[in-house]
Amino acid sequence: MRIISVETFVLRLTPASADGIYLGVQADGSKLADAGYVVRPPWRSLYSARYETVLVRVEADSGQVGWGEALAPVGPSVVASAVDELLAPQLVGADPLRVRPVSSALRELMRERGHLVGHQADAIAAVDIALWDLAGRLLKVPVGTLLGGAFTDPVPVYVSGLPVPTDPERASLARSWVERGARAVKLHLGHGVAADLATYDAVAAAAPSLRIAVDAHWAYDRADAIRLGRGLDERGALFYEAPLAPEDLAGHAELQALLATPVAVGETLRNRYEFAAWLDARALSVAQPDVGRTGITEAMEIASVAAARHVPVALHHSVGLGVSVAAGLHVAAATEGLLLFEYQPATLEVASRILHTPLELSPASMPVPAGPGLGVEVDEDLVRRHAERTTKVKG
């Protein structure tokens, strides 16, 4: 048995309304432009008003197909090019049941050039997910079974974001989430220490049963990160995500040493080696790998590294669509030290558009998709119609 083709699809899907934009309108209430990328102050990264992603289709000579997806919210064509030019030619002819050896070989291709990270890692993640999906379908078992079985199913989740611009609106939205069964929420902040604590307090007062985490989006310097962290300590926050610049390992370690609130980091990290360095430095107390950036193979290695240091895992998820969500749920269920999985309301409304059967959604927990492979069926006709670009490499 061998792989006979690898195909990539670059998608940029528009949400049904402005309310469906990831993280909502900008801080000043204005809408994002329909095309192109913008910086959304106080955050420094580029964002898109559309849901951009790369899907990878891997086919075996039996005719069976596996699907993967990279987390590529900006510049998905870059990730697709890495698959097309660097990975696909090495994949064609490989045994599709040798998932871990094949994934390991792909990591070696550019490792000595420093590309275990960045777009190369994202490309490998998409292919790795497709290989696991394909292997599960060939063997007629779910990916979770191949990973050794579920510790928990359904997977507990937290609602990520209250994407409205004012605290009264956030408080009202938090109440509505509680009415729908939510037990935890993460606030996307970074607007200044006083403003962030005021938002926290408004949400806590409106929905006292919610556990509340804060994502500071890497916005703070040392002094303000400490001030905000101490405020979160007083309030018993669930966790404190991304407080300092993403490369500041020592700063995060120093901050965590001063705080009781767990510091959460991981969406910028791609492999077990990066996570091990942060964990050994005690720079994080909640690990947040994103399967769309690590792949399934590496995510499980990261979970093991975290478990060996008694650190829980809360898998990150932002704008990945149905394939990425399904992969994340399989990994989350198979993770021994799982804390929570990230539930992105706006994303999940779009995520099922590429699937024949929608994902089962709940703001408290989500079941792992049943069936062979990832347990989801991609609507290939829809994907081909909407793809901005497709490339196929054949044997």
**What average pLDDT does range 226-236 have in this prediction?**
98
Residues 76 and 163 in one domain: no
User: Per the structure, how many domains does the chain have?
Assistant: 2
Residues 167 and 95 in one domain: no
Q: Choose between 178 and 165: higher pLDDT.
A: 178
**What average pLDDT does range 73-92 have in this prediction?**
96
User: Is the pLDDT confidence value at 18 over 70?
Assistant: no
Segment 233-265, tens digit of pLDDT: 999 999 999 999 999 999 999 999 999 999 999
Instruction: Kindly state whether residue 225 falls inside one of the protein's structural domains.
Output: yes
Residues 8 and 123 in one domain: yes
Helix, coil or strand: residue 262: coil
Residues 292 and 321 in one domain: yes
Give me 329's structure tokens.
């749920």
Residues 103 and 175 in one domain: no
Segment 307-358, tens digit of pLDDT: 999 999 999 999 999 999 999 999 999 999 999 999 999 888 889 999 999 9
Q: Check residue 136 and give its pLDDT.
A: 98
Residue of 28, 53, 149, 26 lying closest to 389 (CA atoms) = 53
Contact (Cβ atoms closer than 8 angstroms) between residue 73 and residue 109:
no
Q: Check residue 41 and give its pLDDT.
A: 85
**What average pLDDT does range 272-290 have in this prediction?**
98
Percentages helix, strand, coil for the chain, rounded to the nearest 5? 40, 20, 40
Instruction: Kindly state whether residue 210 falls inside one of the protein's structural domains.
Output: yes
Q: Check residue 42 and give its pLDDT.
A: 86
Instruction: Kindly state whether residue 301 falls inside one of the protein's structural domains.
Output: yes
Average pLDDT over the chain reads 94
Cα–Cα distance between 332 and 315 in angstroms, integer? 7
Range of the domain at 84: 3-140+378-394
Contact (Cβ atoms closer than 8 angstroms) between residue 212 and residue 237:
yes
Cα–Cα distance between 296 and 68 in angstroms, integer? 10
Cα–Cα distance between 146 and 308 in angstroms, integer? 21
Question: The domain spanning residue 39 has which CATH number?
Answer: 3.30.390.10
Instruction: Kindly state whether residue 258 falls inside one of the protein's structural domains.
Output: yes
User: Is the pLDDT confidence value at 32 over 80?
Assistant: no
Q: Check residue 50 and give its pLDDT.
A: 83
Residues 71 and 176 in one domain: no
**What average pLDDT does range 300-305 have in this prediction?**
98
Residues 361 and 231 in one domain: yes
Confidence category of residue 19, pLDDT binned at 50, 70, 90: low
Confidence category of residue 294, pLDDT binned at 50, 70, 90: very high
User: Is the pLDDT confidence value at 372 over 90?
Assistant: yes
Residues 131 and 178 in one domain: no
User: Is the pLDDT confidence value at 83 over 70?
Assistant: yes
Confidence category of residue 290, pLDDT binned at 50, 70, 90: very high
Q: Check residue 17 and give its pLDDT.
A: 65
Question: The domain spanning residue 193 has which CATH number?
Answer: 3.20.20.120
Residues 223 and 331 in one domain: yes
Lowest-confidence range among 93-102, 110-119, 128-137, 355-364? 110-119
Residues 209 and 321 in one domain: yes
Which of 45-54, 112-121, 375-384 holds the top average pLDDT? Answer: 375-384
- For 198, 229, 258, 282, 285, the CA distances from 250, given in Å and listed in that order, are 29, 16, 13, 9, 14
Instruction: Kindly state whether residue 372 falls inside one of the protein's structural domains.
Output: no
Cα–Cα distance between 373 and 65 in angstroms, integer? 10
User: Is the pLDDT confidence value at 87 over 80?
Assistant: yes
Instruction: Kindly state whether residue 371 falls inside one of the protein's structural domains.
Output: no
User: Is the pLDDT confidence value at 76 over 70?
Assistant: yes
Residues 239 and 157 in one domain: yes
